[in-house]
Structure 1
Amino acid sequence: MLPFAEDDIRAFYEEHKHTHAADLLLKAKPEDREKVKWMIEQVSTRKKLETKVPEWAGNFGLHLPPVENLSQASSTITAKYKATEMSGNVLDLTLGSGIDSWQIGQKSTKLTGIEPNAELAERTVHNLKSLGVDIHLHVSTAEEFMKSNSEKYDWIYLDPSRRNEDGKRTVALHRMTPNLTELWPSLLEYGQHICVKLSPLFDLSAIINELSNVVRIEVVAVRGEVKEVLVFANRQSTEEVDISAVELHEDGWKFTSTEFRKPEQGEWGEFLYDPSAALIKANLADEWAFQNGLVKPLKEVNLYTSDEPHEAFPGRVFRIYDIGKPYKMKNLPQRLAIVSRYYYERPEEIRKRLKVQESDSDFLFALGKGKKTSLFIHATRVT
């Protein structure tokens, strides 16, 4: 790592944040190339973090890692959310860039971090100390550390790499780095509580089947987009696993259940409900509808209806104006947002046939697989 002064990093960033890296390297003197490469790296990483972790992007006292080390890094809002769970003596087995530990360290009484990449570890420790977080670092793989470890922890946290040994993306617990299934027994032995962050692509039922002592799984979304799946376990085994869908924003919500009941089927009412991505991923849309008396007109489509509005619904709410056969409806507006669910045409194909422009308020739902049973619904957004 090349330790440049904070003012130098700031000045380079402000001057060159819109300049192509190749142009900067071509113009650099041979003796300045290493410095320029390091500075270009800082510019790229800061631009990546401007919306994800703005507190770091604007802090020029930090020596940020290369962009590739941030491919699965948490954002500020998701890191803060996880940190609310953890306190006491915490072990971060996959320290990486340290964004999660930055928040965890503000809640814990002792924080230990494990990172096999010595250069990345050096930068991360520098950054955490600059941010007021004290951490005990071990340059080691998670597996090597756990083999020699004898300390008990209140919490053990992991965000395993979702690439296998060949560098290919994986959604298999035993192919990640570290290998979660092999490490699991020692995690339960030395951790009172365990929290694992996984990709939204992971199947929840597979997680429960492959990992013992799981007590809770949370599907976490930010502004409607699922960002991560959190798996919580402890030494006490349990027969039931709480499943939660979580939305993080100013008007965020959390819905938890251990049941997966089906709502009644029936006719379309005055209002249409389109569940959030978190509710769908957590397989809780039907359960929310069941608990709140919504009807599910189409068995294969996760859309619901009622005659009275449920403004607290975790998703989008629409008022239905018309229902009809595809391409047979009259007086449709010239601007429509197209939503295709279990339908034989894609939204762009429907838009082309209808010759309509995009809209923020008027929606056309194309539903049903078969041409004889499919339908169009014209609705306007309420929330």
Structure 2
Amino acid sequence: MVSLTMVPIDALLSKEVNAFIVQHKHASVAELMLRMPVFTVDSRWIAAQIEGWQKASQKLPLWASTENIIYPIRLSMEQCSSERTAHYKSTLMSGERLVDLTGGFGVDSFYLSKSFNEVIYIEQQEDLAEIAAHNFSTLNQNNIVVKTADSDEYLKDIAEKIDVIFLDPARRKEMRKVYKLSDCEPNVVALQSFYFSKADVILIKTSPMLDITEATRQLTGIKEIHVVSVDNECKEVLYLLEKNYSGKATYICAHDYKKQLQLFSFTIAAEQAVTLSYSAPLAYLYEPNPSILKAGGFNSITQKYEVFKLHASSHLYTSASEVSDFPGRTFKIKETVGYSKKDIQAAVPGGKANIQTRNFPDSVEAIRKKTGLKDGGNIFIFATTLHDLSKVLLICEKI
């Protein structure tokens, strides 16, 4: 049986195989596997190059546009950072040396190396490390040192000064759902004292599925929490830890929307000190971007922008005049109607609308069933609860 742990780089880059990959890079991989010609390289490696390129064309355009990049079989491309989130990390720190304990496909190492004189990439899987080394060279990023090792063992022996330790802990294989950092590997909660003995700064990347409040209980020295979204989808949460830091964490909501970065920051103390002002729906409706919703800056946003909240738990905002720089989606309110089939159908004569619920007893599916509205069109309906506890539907157009 052909080993898939040995990366056949030369064979994949051979004229015949590479021409086949390029010719079929837009093809269905599943269909292609049924009629794959026989090459000297295992067909699964060829399929991985096509599938990898297809995924990279969406989230890693530099990789996709560069010739001779190799993609792995074992690593799901959905799990690696996108170029846009990796670039954001590179703006947070700079220095002499950073160690990436969970190298993977190498996207984060590549971008972080632009802010450090040297990046040490560590990966336990030999095939991934070999592919990353090849790709770093192909991309002409020559200040990354690739090591195949257990990260903890490597750190024990390293003598050089480290400015920053970066890691992206993965859920344990036996865990289906993970909500705590302590359920991930490496277990940064158990190892943070060891990491601080090697570096003064630790940057931890996590899935947005992990509970932020729980992480703040488990970690020490949190200086900043960056909640990163791209095009209205929350992608990751970053914890920037500093040795001996005892202050309060600043939450930084970063939303890369159509390659324009929206930033909003707050602290929990400031969030809790806000005295909210409420209003019935006015001319405009605002929905904060996913980073703000995930971070929980629901009250602080009313301090920076002249908007009123509809209800304490609805997380929708309104204003009489348009707030053009609000960090999220803006809608023009056409009409506010009660939750009755007759009123809703009269307000949406086309019979189509994009429905969302915020603090509302019925689901989107239940609303569609009750009203007969189909999905689509240019009308947006927000089913929500107002400050006076009335249940309403806001008929809107997106600005």
TM-score scaled by length of structure 2? 0.87
Equivalence for 1:47: 54
Structure 2 residue 282 is matched with structure 1 residue 255: no
SS in 2 for 1:56: helix
**Paired residues of 1:262 and 1:287 also in contact (CA < 8 A):** no
Structure 1, 188-197 or 354-363: larger mean CA deviation: 354-363
Determine the C-alpha separation between the residues in 2 that align with 1:237 and 1:20.
Answer: 50
1:16 shift after superposition:
3.0
Of residues 80, 84, 88, the one that matches 1:77 is: 84
Determine the C-alpha separation between the residues in 1 that align with 2:36 and 2:51.
Answer: 18
SS in 1 for 2:329: strand
Determine the C-alpha separation between the residues in 1 that align with 2:17 and 2:179.
Answer: 38
Deviation track 1:184-220 (CA, whole Å, cap 9, x = no partner) reads 1122222122211100112222121111011000100
Equivalence for 1:341: 358
Equivalence for 2:3: none
From the superposition, tell whether residues 97 and 343 of structure 1 become closer, same or farther in structure 2 (CA, over 3 Å).
Answer: same
SS in 1 for 2:51: helix
Equivalence for 1:187: 195
AA partner of residue 329 (structure 1): D
Determine the C-alpha separation between the residues in 2 that align with 1:278 and 1:262.
Answer: 22
1:314 shift after superposition:
1.0
AA partner of residue 79 (structure 1): A
**Paired residues of 2:338 and 2:393 also in contact (CA < 8 A):** yes
Deviation track 1:113-143 (CA, whole Å, cap 9, x = no partner) reads 1111112111111111111123222211222
Determine the C-alpha separation between the residues in 2 that align with 1:27 and 1:228.
Answer: 37
Structure 2 residue 316 is matched with structure 1 residue 303: yes
* Identity percentage of aligned residues: 26
5+ residue gaps, structure 1, are: none
**Paired residues of 2:333 and 2:395 also in contact (CA < 8 A):** yes
| Structure 2 counterparts to residues 51-130 of structure 1, below 5 A | 51-66=58-73, 68-87=75-94, 88-130=96-138
SS in 2 for 1:106: coil
TM-score scaled by length of structure 1? 0.91
SS in 2 for 1:252: strand
AA partner of residue 265 (structure 1): Y
| Structure 2 counterparts to residues 1-383 of structure 1, below 5 A | 1-2=7-8, 3-4=10-11, 5=13, 7-17=15-25, 18-21=27-30, 24=33, 28-29=37-38, 32=39, 34-66=41-73, 68-87=75-94, 88-134=96-142, 135-161=144-170, 163-166=171-174, 168-249=176-257, 250-258=259-267, 259-260=270-271, 261-327=274-340, 328-329=342-343, 331-333=346-348, 334=350, 335-368=352-385, 373-382=390-399
5+ residue gaps, structure 2, are: 1-6
Structure 1, 147-156 or 117-126: larger mean CA deviation: 147-156
SS in 2 for 1:61: coil
